[in-house]
């Protein structure tokens, strides 16, 4: 199945108008790095709940996604948004070099097959010294222990039918960001308990050279 058709089929099964998980807490995290006037790119924006809220707070927001259906829903809800469809993975994004101060990708990086290529596009559109913000499922020490001891939990997390392709710890995400020349990497966690957080929040600064 072509990549575009795959993503459209996934979205066809998602009810419209759902509030993203931990929306308010993740929104506060992004707002802490994106004051009014910030040029922000929401990568994998979906129905653009974050993009709409950030634009209402004064940021200059562009949202991109690989599927048309969520962008159609987003445009119906907030026609003022700048929303753009991007080609399947591997194609350059229709955006200028160094166009944004902040790039936000909420629950996206775990779905990406060509992680290096995707991160290269993030670097390209982010200005020198700009900020990358990510959220992704956390695989801390206690979570990994539970997965190792519980076949049922392991099967749920690594279901081969899932659209999650990558599984990150703080260490592996920090290594990836450093390899792609991001600096000042910082982490926080949402949900659960220390060592078994549900969601990993990361911020990093694009190296100037």
Chain centroid to CA 197 = 17
Q: Tell me what percent of the residues of the chain surpass a pLDDT of 70.
A: 97
Predicted local confidence at residue 42, as pLDDT? 98
Q: How far apart are CA 88 and CA 179, in angstroms?
A: 24
The Cα-based distances of 68 to 27, 106, 121, 126 in angstroms read 24, 18, 20, 24
* Residue 7 pLDDT: 82
3-state SS assignment for residue 79: coil
Alpha-helical segments (H) within 62-195:
68-77, 115-125, 141-149, 151-157, 170-179
Residue 1, pLDDT score: 56
In three-state secondary structure terms, 69 is helix
pLDDT digits (tens, 9 = 90+) for 55-72: 999 999 999 999 999 999
Q: Is the pLDDT of residue 33 over 90?
A: yes
Closest CA to 177 of 198, 207, 199, 200: 207
162 or 176, greater pLDDT: 176
DSSP state letter for 128:
E
Residue 89 confidence (pLDDT): 67
Q: Is 101 within 8 Å of 84 (Cβ atoms)?
A: no
Percent of the chain with pLDDT over 90: 76
The pLDDT of residue 2 is above 70: no
pLDDT of residue 10: 82
Sorting pLDDT into bands at 50, 70 and 90, what band is 194? confident
Looking at the DSSP bridge assignments, the partners of residue 105 are 134
| Per-domain boundaries in the chain | 3-206
Neighbours of 91 (CB within 10 A): 12
Domain 3-206, CATH among 3.40.1280.10, 3.50.30.30, 3.40.50.300, 3.40.50.150: 3.40.50.150
For 87-144, what is each residue's pLDDT tens digit? Answer: 866 688 999 999 999 999 999 999 999 999 999 999 999 999 999 999 999 998 888 8
**Tokens 């979205």 sit at which residue?**
11
């Amino acid at each position: 199945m072509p990549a575009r058709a795959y993503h459209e089929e996934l979205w066809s099964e998602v009810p419209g108008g759902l509030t993203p998980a931990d929306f308010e807490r993740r929104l506060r995290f992004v707002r802490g790095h994106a004051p009014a006037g910030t040029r922000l790119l929401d990568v994998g924006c979906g129905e653009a709940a974050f993009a709409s809220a950030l634009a209402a707070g004064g940021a200059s927001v562009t949202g991109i996604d690989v599927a048309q259906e969520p962008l159609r829903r987003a445009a119906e809800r907030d026609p003022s948004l700048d929303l753009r469809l991007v080609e399947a993975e591997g194609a350059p994004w229709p955006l200028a070099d160094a166009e944004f101060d902040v790039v936000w990708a909420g629950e996206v990086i775990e779905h990406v097959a060509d992680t290096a290529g995707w991160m290269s596009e993030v670097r390209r559109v982010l200005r020198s010294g700009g900020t990358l913000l990510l959220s992704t499922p956390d695989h801390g020490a206690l979570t990994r222990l539970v997965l190792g001891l519980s076949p049922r939990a392991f099967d749920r997390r690594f279901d081969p039918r899932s659209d999650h392709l990558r599984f990150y710890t703080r260490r592996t995400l920090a290594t990836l960001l450093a390899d792609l020349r991001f600096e000042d990497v910082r982490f926080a966690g949402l949900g659960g308990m220390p060592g078994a957080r549900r969601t990993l929040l990361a911020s990093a600064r694009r190296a100037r050279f």
